[in-house]
Structure 1
Amino acid sequence: MSAYLSRRPASLQLKQLDLATKIGSPLSPIALGSGLRKTRDAGVFWSPGFVPPLRSPCPSVVTIHDLTHLHFYSRWHRYYYEMVFKRLLLECSAIVCVSEYTKQEFLDWSNIDPKKVHVVLNGVHESFFEKYEPLSCEFKYILYPGNRRKYKNLTRLFEAYAASVLPKQNVKLMLTGSPSAELTLLARKLGIEASVTYSGFVKDQDMPRLYSGALMIVFVSLYEGFGLPIVEGMASGVPVITSNVSAMAEIGEGAAELVDPYSVEAIRDAIDRVATDDARRLALIKRSEIHVRKFDWGRSACRLWEIVGELEN
């Protein structure tokens, strides 16, 4: 959100809506609507985190990052989305989606007027384009940057890495964050416990250095509405392996090694190919240098505020 706020037009006044209710609460639409009705001259309301207000007194814009709650969360989440969010989103003045894939999935699910739905791509922070010295590390590594949700497909990633040439070449698999009991047990079972490592806490300003030191970025999730690690890896000048499903196929198209995330063999073959074929690595890096420039926060912010401005008039 800060990427948008720091690039807002000088003529645009912003006011944060203070809520006692957490935005993830089932009651947050009620709290948002109530807060807006208490605000004089509300102008246009923008929700960067997918939650629509109930009975908004002003035009509202909601950003949809993905529809993971319909696929990978509980039956209660799906019911809530169907019975509450869908109806409230239909009342919004505009919907912003972060990829063409997310836009189409949202249209198929919501049956909302397509004229109200816009694509504003996520961008890459400028720091990833800087040529920083990689973080000091005594070994080579491939990097998975992300959380541990089940749809992130870490079990297949571990299995593919274990079957690849990398453990024998002393190239480790590094994950951001700290070890978990589940992943430690999986690595031990696969015989790669000594080859899996974790970055621990890394400051935001040091993330580009962690990326740039990697042999490759491997992000083979089963589903994404965008996939920021894909473009962050590209901006860092590192080859990226990602999935050929959902928005990842769109975001990585032509500049990343796309694989079937349900196939351990396909992931393993891609890892081996990128690790051992220097010509392939160089081609991916060169194509990504051009491709990643389309994911520009300045251009995205301009488009978002344009949408907001059209509703304000």
Structure 2
Amino acid sequence: MRIGFDAKRAFQNRTGLGNYSRTLVTSLAEYYPEHEYVLFAPKVKPLYRPPRAAVTITPQRFLHKLLKPVWRSRWVSGELQSHGIDIFHGLSAELPFGIHRTGVASTVTMHDLIFERYPKQYNPIDVATYRKKAKYACEAAAQVIAISTQTKADLMEFYGVPEEKISVCYQACDPSFQAPRDPQTIRQALVRYNLPSEYFLYVGSVIERKNLARIAEAMFLLKDRLNVPLIVLGDGGAYKEKVKKYLAEKGLTSRVIFLNEVAKFAFRDLPALYQGALALLYPSTFEGFGIPILEALWSQTPVVTSTGSCFTETGGNAALYVDPFSVESIADGMFRVATEPALRQGMTERGLLHAERFTPEKCAAAVMQVYQNILP
């Protein structure tokens, strides 16, 4: 097979969608080298070095170079046959418009429909754009890949996608999280960023759904019982400023470190940051998968996360679950994981076992099965 990919996120996105794209393409090329892989990218950046077996296609015509977003969203369809593509995979919830008329089979990975569940947390124009792209992709694709059973249920609920058209293929995280760092390496990373030796960790955008405000309120509840600082790796806008205002009012500013504000953080240090943490705090109200949970499990870092949504899929029996709408429940989870060493030990042991369900090899195998079902 000659498999084409929408590779924009692989080259341009440093977080979730980019990590998914890079890990999947690299894993497919490693475990299934008998196939050919073609990356269609509006622009190429050093963020990603594709496998040697992969070919990268960028806009060539003057108008296509001038209007790269249009090339990616529409004009790529007209190039698929000339590049001999057997199947095209939209890695980030969209397919180029018109692909259904090309005769080229396609699949699309749908990560979540959070914009449908919480439309008020998005710009209305963005919601309309996301909806148009997602609906078209689900209609045009021969098979839809959902990254969790939660996302599968949402596709059926919001868009009426037939159950038999959806395959759940769990994602993997970057293999670097699987490699244990020795204590000295972890200490060196913490010293490099002037960080404390004991801390909770928050990884993700600072937006309402991720629930940093309630974590801050939980820290205030615990201020006389637990003195563990929080490192926040992620950025945000108005919601972040709201949280910072609360921290200032409650005298907690020194207890929360917004890492992006004090240092230019390098991704290569992220595994060490996880492995040095007392626990990952991830009481999000809703996710499609929750990749930081998996990164923490591989890092042998305890996870405090939410009941509901996809979290029990990703965290399994290894995480400590709290009510994301209850400050008291979040505070209780934080206190328990900080003060019960036996609990932490059991969580890390179960975490490694559960993480084995989400290896790059298993992820690649599940996706390859989808391709083979489409093109037997």
Residue pairs, 1:164-313, within 5 angstroms: 164=222, 169-177=226-234, 181-200=241-260, 201-313=264-376
The residue type paired with residue 124 of structure 1 is: C
Q: In the TM superposition, what whole-angstrom CA distance separates every residue of 1:135-168 from its partner, at most 9, and x where no partner exists? A: 3344411000111122111111111122125x76
Residue 189 of structure 2 is aligned to residue 126 of structure 1: no
Query: Which structure exhibits the higher relative contact order, with contacts defined as CA atoms closer than 8 Å and separated by 6 or more residues?
Result: 1
Q: In the TM superposition, what whole-angstrom CA distance separates every residue of 1:40-96 from its partner, at most 9, and x where no partner exists? A: 422110111111232211111100111122123233344445555324421211111
CA distance in 2, matches of 1:6, 1:161: 40
TM normalised by structure 1 equals: 0.90
Count of paired positions: 309
CA distance in 1, matches of 2:40, 2:249: 49
CA distance in 2, matches of 1:256, 1:176: 20
CA drift of 1:205 comes to 1.6
CA distance in 1, matches of 2:68, 2:356: 35
* Aligned match of 1:30: 74
* Aligned match of 1:47: 90
CA distance in 2, matches of 1:87, 1:119: 19
SS of residue paired to 1:148 = coil
SS of residue paired to 2:145 = strand
TM normalised by structure 2 equals: 0.76
Aligned partners of 1:142 and 1:217 also within 8 Å = yes
Q: In the TM superposition, what whole-angstrom CA distance separates every residue of 1:168-188 from its partner, at most 9, and x where no partner exists? A: 654211101469644432211
SS of residue paired to 1:258 = strand
Aligned residue among 53, 68, 78 for 2:114: 68
CA drift of 1:18 comes to 4.1
CA distance in 2, matches of 1:142, 1:283: 18
Residue 160 of structure 2 is aligned to residue 102 of structure 1: no
Aligned partners of 2:197 and 2:276 also within 8 Å = no
Aligned partners of 1:28 and 1:51 also within 8 Å = no
Give the root-mean-square deviation of aligned CA atoms. Answer: 2.3
Q: Quick check: 194-203 or 222-231, which moved more? A: 194-203
* Aligned match of 2:217: 159
Unaligned runs of 5+ in 2: 1-20, 43-63
**Aligned residues with identical type, % of pairs:** 26
Residue pairs, 1:135-150, within 5 angstroms: 135-136=189-190, 137-150=195-208
CA drift of 1:193 comes to 0.8
CA distance in 1, matches of 2:124, 2:169: 30
